[in-house]
Chain A
């Protein structure tokens, strides 16, 4: 759960935790006392980052978070805490959420015991995207919750968010009034259903869509994307897409900067349109050059 300072993140978490469907949930926060309810699995961490030797910021391991997640597992094992099935992690308003994602996907113990379900970002309709960090939070999110709609018209902010991250669901909620089902276990949004305007945010960040008619060779795709992320990882904030790799259903690919989720095979396509489709959010690239480059790598595999 990410979101800029004062965007209603804590209110949203407090309301969610009071919901009957949110039992067996542990919560990791940066500030105790802000969450206004007495929750038996509330833990606090001091943000502690371990910069790895590559010096890349997104690949910073959040040591505090990894320690806390491992501690939760061992204390559950020893019966010291009630069982839990889900953990809500609240990031600080100014934090870059990429290292949290990186930690969950790559720390050896953590990634074998937890799986990242969803990234939710709150954006307040009054202030919108007022900081580089909130732009990044939006790019990384799977679900965007627009808050404070009781104070101003939300349409301008909602429109802006849909352009910036067309893969995310945008929901509106005042006073944290959201059903857990709206945030969790949502199917991935099909990039085909959204057409980004190509309009850039002031720092050049925008979303571009990619379509490929030919079946994609998975090995070639892996070689291409790993190479792209090495060369342009700082500029590619997000990759999300459905690939036709010749299987029964599409392959879901989801990455946040240098961290890529394990690819997931889906059972079936929604309809007869079997084109591979991807959304890239970032700067200093356009859809056409990505398409041309990927197609070249795909042809290499064929001959």
Chain B
């Protein structure tokens, strides 16, 4: 529900009503984005996500909002979807 405090909540608004296919698509999309910041996301036990950077540091996160917060911590910089350079590389 809250992208900063998502860890308090058991369900993010963006993950409501999703089936397994939606969850798989979400993981694929997230990884396309996170790859630009040297990060990778895996599902663990179908319920939580594990985020890792290239040095092997990991963070366990429960929902979409919390992932971005942790990703920012691991990447050491904001992950801004409006950044023109990022969008160019994403295309």
Cβ-defined contact, B82 with A226, below 8 A? no
Cβ-defined contact, A300 with B32, below 8 A? yes
Contacts of B4 in A (CB 8 A): 52, 54, 56, 59, 230, 233, 258
In the complex, whether A173 has a CB less than 8 A from a CB of chain B is no
By DSSP majority rule, is chain B's interface helix, strand, loop, or mixed? Answer: helix
Cβ-defined contact, A232 with B82, below 8 A? yes
Q: In the complex, A290 Cα to B87 Cα: how many Å? A: 11
Cβ-defined contact, B5 with A59, below 8 A? yes
Cβ-defined contact, A297 with B29, below 8 A? yes
Q: In the complex, A219 Cα to B1 Cα: how many Å? A: 15
Cβ-defined contact, A231 with B1, below 8 A? no
Cβ-defined contact, A261 with B13, below 8 A? yes
Per-residue A-contact encoding for B9-37, CB less than 8 Å = 1, 0 else: 11011111010001001100110110000
- With most chain A CB atoms within 10 A of its CB, the pick from B4, B10, B65, B69 is B4
Per-residue B-contact encoding for A261-272, CB less than 8 Å = 1, 0 else: 111000000000
Q: In the complex, A299 Cα to B90 Cα: how many Å? A: 10
Q: In the complex, A102 Cα to B4 Cα: how many Å? A: 12
Given contacts A228-B81, A293-B87, contact A259 B1 (CB under 8 A): yes
Q: In the complex, A227 Cα to B3 Cα: how many Å? A: 8
Q: In the complex, A220 Cα to B29 Cα: how many Å? A: 7
Q: Mark out the residues of chain A between 176 and 227 whose CB falls within 8 Å of any chain B CB in the assembled complex.
A: 217-227
Given contacts A230-B65, A262-B16, contact A301 B2 (CB under 8 A): no
By DSSP majority rule, is chain A's interface helix, strand, loop, or mixed? Answer: helix
Output the nearest chain A residue to B87 by Cβ-Cβ distance: A296
Contacts of B64 in A (CB 8 A): 222-223, 226
Cβ-defined contact, A106 with B9, below 8 A? yes
Q: Mark out the residues of chain B between 43 and 57 whose CB falls within 8 Å of any chain A CB in the assembled complex.
A: none
- With most chain B CB atoms within 10 A of its CB, the pick from A105, A219, A260, A285 is A219
Cβ-defined contact, A222 with B14, below 8 A? yes
Cβ-defined contact, B68 with A106, below 8 A? no
In the complex, whether A19 has a CB less than 8 A from a CB of chain B is no
Kindly identify which residue among A54, A106, A289, A301 contacts B29, using a CB–CB cutoff of 8 Å. Answer: A301
Q: In the complex, A106 Cα to B30 Cα: how many Å? A: 24
Cβ-defined contact, B29 with A52, below 8 A? no
Contacts of B84 in A (CB 8 A): 289
Contacts of A301 in B (CB 8 A): 25, 29
Cβ-defined contact, B68 with A226, below 8 A? yes
Q: In the complex, A111 Cα to B9 Cα: how many Å? A: 11
Residues of A within 8 A of B (CB): 52-54, 56, 59, 102, 105-106, 108, 111, 217-233, 258-263, 285, 289-290, 292-293, 296-297, 299-301
Question: Could you write out 9 A-B pairs with CB less than 8 Å apart?
Answer: A217-B25, A219-B25, A229-B65, A230-B4, A231-B72, A231-B82, A292-B87, A296-B91, A301-B29
Residues of B within 8 A of A (CB): 1-5, 8-10, 12-16, 18, 22, 25-26, 29-30, 32-33, 64-65, 67-69, 72, 78-82, 84, 87, 90-91
